[in-house]
Amino acid sequence: MDNIHVHDTSSQQTFAQQVVEEPIYSSQQLADIRTYEADLCAHMEHNPHRLAHSMSVAKTAQHLALVYGVDTFKARVAGILHDWEKVNTTADQLAKARELNIDFGVDLTLVGALVHGPIAQKTLVQRYPKLSADILQAIARHTIADEQMSDLDKVVFIADAIEPLRAPVQALDHLRSQVGQLDLDSLFWETFVEGILYVLSTHRYLYPRTIEIYNTLVIQRATTKEHA
Ligand SMILES: [Fe+2]
Ligand SMILES: [Fe+2]
């Protein structure tokens, strides 16, 4: 879900108002957040929409983390940095993916919209050696998800989809309304399925791993229900 349209509706305003609360951070964490934000502003200077989206994902991820008891600092940082590589052209992203031996199991030109997550996992650790492995994993998985999503992975994935600057389509507004109503697993599941429906409705290539993940999660969810 990577097309960005900036609109405003009352439901988005309500959701946007919810995501502005600031948790209490240590002075070191605050300094780190300010550094990542300043670096992002410089890095995305020529792409204000991507910059606004990234900052909005960061605040939304932080809000989701507060609601669902996930580490808010990690969620905020992963949100700030999640689209770091997306400001490069698709050709440059594909070249970098080849250089870094990132294997999607299909021709990389078919997954041009997905490679920026796994690329960022590898490049950001070089730029910021103190970024933890779980933050980097959440950044990698925001484009393709996984069968074994951590809570942090889920928070960043959902935030990317529902941040308030996204187009006010009914499906996203519904997901926004479910924050705090559904448990985190179910909200991730609904968001993941919505992403697949979007790919189908726009007649785009559906990455085979996505289908695998979908089927595994269907079975996992059925098994969990049986044992509930
Ligand atoms: Fe992205
Ligand atoms: Fe994004």
Instruction: Convert the pLDDT of each residue in 151-192 to its tens digit.
Output: 999 999 999 999 999 988 899 999 999 999 999 999 999 999
How close is the Cα of 144 to the center of ligand 1, in Å?
10
The CA 218 to ligand 1 mean position distance, Å, reads 24
pLDDT bucket at 12, cuts 50 / 70 / 90: low
CATH of 10-226, one of 3.40.50.10470, 1.20.1300.10, 1.10.3210.10, 3.10.310.30: 1.10.3210.10
Q: Which residue has the higher pLDDT, 167 or 222?
A: 222
Q: Tell me phi and psi for residue 182, to 5 degrees.
A: -90, 155
Spell out the residues 6+ positions from residue 72 whose beta carbon is closer than 8 angstroms to its own: 23, 25, 62, 65, 66
Question: Residue 10: its pLDDT value, please?
Answer: 59
Distance 160 CA to ligand 1 centre (A): 7
Interatomic CA distance for residues 3 and 199, integer angstroms = 12
Of the listed ligands, the closest to the CA of 143 is: 1
CA dihedral 161, 77, 30, 38 (to 10 degrees): -90
Going from the Cα of 143 to the center of ligand 1, the distance in angstroms, rounded, reads 6
Could you tell me which residues are beta bridge partners of residue 182? Answer: 179
C-alpha dihedral, 148 to 33 to 63 to 132, nearest 10°: 20
Q: How far is the CA of 227 from the centre of ligand 1 (A)?
A: 35
Q: What residues pack around ion ligand 2 (CB closer than 5 A)?
A: 83, 160
| Confidence at residue 6, expressed as pLDDT on a 0 to 100 scale | 43
Residue 1: what pLDDT? 47
Written as six digits, the tokens of 223 are: 């098994």
Confidence check: pLDDT of 71 > 80: yes
The closest ligand to the CA of 114 turns out to be: 1
The pTM of the full predicted model, rounded to 2 decimals, is 0.92
